Amino acid sequence: MMKILVPVKRVIDYNVKIRVNSEGSAVETNNVKMSMNPFDEIAVEEAVRLKEAGLAEEIIIVSIGDKGSQETIRTAFAMGGDRGVHIVNDLNTEPLVVAKILKNLIEKETIDIVIMGKQAIDDDSNQTGQMLAALLDWPQATFASKLELNDNQIKVIREIDGGLETLNVKLPCIVTTDLRLNEPRYASLPNIMKAKKKEIIEIPIEETGVDFSSRLEVLKVEEPEIRSGGRKVEDVNELISVLKNEVGVI
C-alpha cells in the first residue's frame, strides 16, 4: 500500500485584500486571516480520495513555517490526513530549501507519491514540485486536472496552453495539482475534534541538515499603480491618433 506525502503551506486567506506594510518591505500579516493554500487543499483532497478508494495506506502532512502552521496541518487532518510533520521556521523559506527538506523527509519515510499544490498564492513561485522531482530524480506530472492510479502507474491529465496532455507516470513520482482536479470537502465537526488528537512531530529547521539561508533579497514591495479609466474614441482615425501622439506605441 502507498504512503502519500502532502506538503501544505499557511498563506493569507484568498478572500483577504492584500496590503503592503508601512515599511514597504513585505505584505501585512498582523491580524490578517490565514488559511491553507487553496492548491494544497486540492492536493489533500486528492490524497484522501486515493486512501478512501483503498489505494493508499497513510497520508503524511508536512508544513514549514511558524507555530501557526500547525493549525494548517490540523485542517489537513480534519480532511483526512493521518500524521503530521512541522518544520519550524519563523522566517521565509525559499522553494529550493523547501524541496531539499522534503527530499530528506521522503527518503526517511519511504514515500511512494508526493501530491502538492502547483504553487502557493503568496509568492506564486511554482518551483518547489519541479525542484523536488529533480533532486529525487523522480518523474513529475505538473498542473494535474485528473488523476487515475493503476497498479504501479498513474495516469495524469494535465492542463497546458494548447488544451490537455495525458501522461503515464511510474511510481514513485511527484504530482502538482491544478484547480480543476477536484472540489475539496468541508471538514465535519467530528473530524475537526479528532484532528486535535493526531500526532504532529516538531522539527526545528536547524536540525534538518539543510542550509536554509536566503539566497534572494526583497528590496521593496509596493502596491500596483491605480489604473486610469478608459475612454471612448469616435472612429479608427482618432484611435490611431491617440496611440501615436498620446500613448506613443505606434
Alpha helices for 110-144 (secondary structure H): 128-136
Please determine, for residue 250, whether its predicted confidence score (pLDDT) is greater than 90: no
Q: Please, which residues have CB within 8 angstroms of residue 200's CB and are 6 or more apart in sequence? A: 70, 73, 74, 83, 84, 85, 86
Q: Which amino acid is it at 170?
A: K
Q: What is the pTM of this model?
A: 0.85
Q: Nine-digit cell at 188?
A: 465535519
- Nearest residue to 133 (alpha-carbon basis) of 108, 149, 148, 116: 116
Which residue type does 195 have? A
Rg of the Cα trace of the chain? 21
Domain boundaries, the chain: 2-247
Q: Which three cell numbers stand for residue 178?
A: 491544478
Q: Can you give the pLDDT at residue 75?
A: 95
Q: pLDDT averaged over the chain?
A: 92
Predicted pLDDT at 239 = 92
Query: H helices then E strands: how many in the chain?
Result: 6, 11
Distance CA 125, CA 118 (A): 9
pLDDT at res. 26: 85
Residues 114-151 have pLDDT tens digits of 999 999 998 889 999 999 999 999 999 999 999 998 87
Q: What is the pLDDT of residue 226?
A: 83
SS3 percent helix, strand, coil of the chain, rounded to 5, is 30, 30, 40
Number of residues that this document lists for the chain: 250
What's 2-247's CATH class? Answer: alpha beta
How far from 119 is each of 11, 38, 150, 176, CA to CA, in Å? 11, 9, 26, 8
Q: Could you tell me the pLDDT band of residue 44, with boundaries at 50, 70 and 90?
A: very high
Q: Has residue 94 got a pLDDT over 80? A: yes
Here the cell at position 214 is 536566503
pLDDT of residue 38: 96
